Amino acid sequence: MKFENQTEITEFILLGFGEFYEVQTFLFLAFLVIYVVTVTGNILIVVLVVFDQHLHTPIPMYYFLGNLSCLETCYTSTLLPRMLASFLTGDRTISIGGCFTQLYWFGFLVVAECYLLAAMSYDRYLAICKPLHYATLMDGKLCFLLSAGSWLCGITVMTIVISLMSQLYYCGPSEIDHFFCELTPVINLSCSDTTLVTLVGLTVSAIDTIPSCLLTLMSYVCIIATILRIPSSTGRKKAFSTCSSHLIVVSIFYGSLIFVYALPKRKALREVDKIFSVFYTVLTPLINPLIYSLRNKEVKESLRRVISKCRLLE
């Protein structure tokens, strides 16, 4: 649809953390270190899961962990390189096509992560609450279907949303008060009728986040109830250690996600919104490899074996 006497814009301006001008260098260095550590840690976990045969024995746990690390690598690479470039050059503009591309990958990976975390919580539920039937219920086929379904849901949802958004017309304003292209702010800048795309966006967001969040919550309610019924403290500690790492990741991811989207969209709270957005977009991918490598005995042993093999090859 064309609008008379209105000029179509071709790019947006991501305001990001521009108000903190005096600490731009510090922010650049901090986010650069986070990005390098995140990508290195997650790729390392993927390599260990793929090439270390010892991690293939309890297939579901490390199969899902490898998928999660791969997802987190893509996730952080969708946002941080663009933000680092803006810190370095001061250029905060992004083309509408580039914004839609970032929004597509960001939304796709968020949806996939919601379902993947739910699948991992279901895996831990079966391992703790149904230990005798675990190997039968959580076989290789189900693992593949759950992980593939997580990725496919994200692709399907964002393909529909971006297809609708590509029909919108933008004539200004062009400023997005965020450090990445988020769905609602981008829709709100359109001069077109956004009723349909807003309704579709809200619907798919509710369908994708609420059921996966509830499934994760119900799984851990059952897990905690089962752990509390274990008579020995050693048994309770051992059972809880098998799911504590995943519980920490889930708590930070969903906690910050819910806080951001439940927070009233007021001007005074925009900076708080950005800070909590950093938790689920930047810090969650960072803590994933740190938690699983530092708290997981099998991963640490796998890393030692890989290092030993590398030394022998020298």
Domains and CATH numbers, the chain: 11-313 (1.20.1070.10)
Say if residues 96 and 10 touch (Cβ distance below 8 Å). Answer: yes
Q: How far is CA 188 from the centre of its chain?
A: 24
Output the tens digit of pLDDT for each of the chain's 314 residues: 454 556 678 889 888 876 666 778 888 899 999 999 999 988 988 888 787 766 666 567 778 888 888 999 998 999 999 889 888 888 889 999 999 999 999 999 989 998 998 998 898 888 888 888 888 888 878 888 999 999 999 999 999 999 999 888 888 778 888 888 888 888 888 888 888 998 988 888 888 888 888 898 898 889 888 888 888 888 788 777 777 777 888 888 888 777 776 665 666 566 777 777 888 888 888 888 777 765 667 777 777 776 776 666 65
pLDDT in the model for residue 1: 45
pLDDT in the model for residue 301: 73
**Helix axis angle, 96-129 to 140-165, nearest 10°:** 150
Tell me which amino acid residue 311 is.
R
Q: pTM for this one?
A: 0.85
Say if residues 114 and 157 touch (Cβ distance below 8 Å). Answer: no
Structure-block tokens of residue 61: 């746990």
Return all residues near 215 (Cβ < 8 A) that are at least 6 apart.
Answer: 118, 121, 122
pLDDT in the model for residue 178: 83
Terminal Cα-to-Cα distance of the chain (whole angstroms): 65
pLDDT in the model for residue 57: 63
pLDDT in the model for residue 59: 60
pLDDT in the model for residue 273: 74
The radius of gyration of the chain from alpha carbons, rounded to an integer in Å, stands at: 22
**Helix axis angle, 284-294 to 297-313, nearest 10°:** 80
Q: How far apart are CA 211 and CA 254, in angstroms?
A: 13
Which SS3 state, helix, strand or coil, does residue 132 take?
helix
Return all residues near 250 (Cβ < 8 A) that are at least 6 apart.
Answer: 117, 121, 216, 220
Residue 65 exposed, middle or buried by CB count within 10 Å (0-12, 13-18, 19+): buried
Looking from the CA of 193 toward its CB, the CA atoms found within 13 Å total 3
pLDDT in the model for residue 36: 93
